[in-house]
Amino acid sequence: MHTTRRWILILAFALIWLSFSQPTLPAADYSVVVSKSTYADAAWRQVVDALVDKHGATVVQYESAAPESLDALREQFPRYACFVAQPSEAGREFVAGVHRLTRQLDDDPYTDLFWGILTGYDADCALRIAEHNEPLTIERVASGTELAMEMVAEGVWYCELNKNLCVRKQPGKQAQREECPDDTTKLLVDSLNDYRAQLFVTSGHATERDWQIGFRYRNGSFRCEGGTVYGRDTAGKRHPVDSPNPKVYMPIGNCLMGHVDSQDAMALAFMNSAGVNQMIGYTVPTWFGYAGWGCLDYFVEQPGRYTFTEAFLANQHALVHRLETEPKSGATRGLTFDRDVLAFYGDPAWQARMADGPVAWKQSLTETDGVWTLSIEPQRGEATFAPINTNGSQRGGRPIVAFLPRRVPTQNVKIIAGAELAPLVTDTFILVPNPGKCDPAKEYRVVFTAK
């Protein structure tokens, strides 16, 4: 009897522990895509094995270029694909190739799965990211550019445009303007080391080796050396970043911050010394900005609604939708420029999302007997669909995106209600163009079947 009770207690504790862990995905839902040479490297093979163990994944190997895996991915059609790559493989062309590949699994022009590129300063760094499983709820935010602080639980941003300006929000209070020193280098380093920010946001001038903190005035910089990020203030003093807590990094407007041109790249140093598990980043000098800045519209300004992976993909869907549906204009060149140049690094199935906060509209997607309903409930009156924050480039106007919980056939999609909202239904998501000015008395609802 004593032994039976002991095993019951052990089982109970095991079930409790599992309830707090990220669920393992069905095997068909996750593919690890890797070159044969990387798979043959013992240290990097451990990275692949960690993802296989965590997600029950299928491994797809290619000889020389990731697009060679297209046929295998079409056959498996997973929900997630993680491209494991050594720094020497993960350059600009690799990122563009993954973008194009993941739009080719079926006939529509949209990305067909959630994807991420898992790399690191070395195999140990990549393994840390691959093995991490505990979901992240982001409550502490630090930024080198203006953010919509009313949408976050707590945080601080330092202005890149106006010297001595910062805005701080304490938990449960309104954000307050404060005066800060001319040089904010150490303050930003401290926001990572001591404040332990879980989301770090930057913009402004950057290269693969540095980030210039001030955009319109003289300030310090962040640089990297030997896999470590450090701040260098205007007096030349060095402030190393040692911030191991898991976090998301959004260099939304920085040129080249996502370009892994060598092992000395800033992106790899952020992963190695700043605890970054997931990040986006431009692989080219940026000028249009839709792909980067728009991730704020989905991730920060709809707090709790999307994981970081989902926010990235929702914005990619929004970009492609504009290219597909709008007449050619001055924006067409910019959208085309942005389409394949923003990298997403990390395990795409890792769940990092903002703490729940106020949203401009509520949305829910339900299914009953094969009939799907997307309901949108305005929360800000006539301003419901207006931009939350306009700092940056190409802000606001993003469509409403809801991801389907499973892939559905779309050969015979039938819109039962809400056709006037011009919805797009694909096999993995539904998109409703931003309605613009909101009529609070109107019912915003799309009902459809997909068979």
Half-sphere exposure of 201 (CA within 13 A, CB side): 29
Tokens 């019912």, residue? 443
Q: Is residue 428 within 8 Å of residue 310, measured between CB atoms? A: no
Q: How far apart are CA 353 and CA 356, in angstroms?
A: 9
Q: What are phi and psi of 445, to 5 degrees?
A: -155, 135
- Going across the sheet that includes 400-403, the strands are 400-403, 429-432, 424-425
Torsion of CA 235, 238, 243, 249, to 10 degrees: 60
Q: What would the two tokens of residue 10 be?
A: 């052990």
Q: Residue 2, exposed/middle/buried by CB under 10 A (0-12, 13-18, 19+)?
A: exposed
| pLDDT tens for the chain, residues 1 to 451 | 444 455 444 444 444 444 444 444 554 699 999 999 999 999 999 999 999 999 999 999 999 999 999 999 999 999 999 999 999 999 999 999 999 999 999 999 999 999 999 999 999 999 999 999 999 999 999 999 999 999 999 999 999 999 999 999 999 999 999 999 999 999 999 999 999 999 999 999 999 999 999 999 999 999 999 999 999 999 999 999 999 999 999 999 999 999 999 999 999 999 999 999 999 999 999 999 999 999 999 999 999 999 999 999 999 999 999 999 999 998 999 999 999 999 999 999 999 999 999 999 999 999 999 999 999 999 999 999 999 999 999 999 999 999 999 999 988 899 999 999 999 999 999 999 999 999 999 999 999 998 8
Model confidence, pTM: 0.93
Span between the terminal Cα atoms of the chain, in Å: 54
**Which DSSP state fits 419?**
G
User: Which one, of 44, 48, 59, 53, lies nearest residue 21 by Cα?
Assistant: 53
User: Which one, of 76, 131, 132, 67, lies nearest residue 102 by Cα?
Assistant: 67
Q: What would the two tokens of residue 81 be?
A: 């694909």
Q: Is residue 376 within 8 Å of residue 411, measured between CB atoms? A: no
pLDDT at res. 14: 42
pLDDT at res. 28: 65
Helix axes 290-299, 308-325, angle to 10 degrees: 130
pLDDT at res. 11: 45
Q: What would the two tokens of residue 313 be?
A: 């993909």
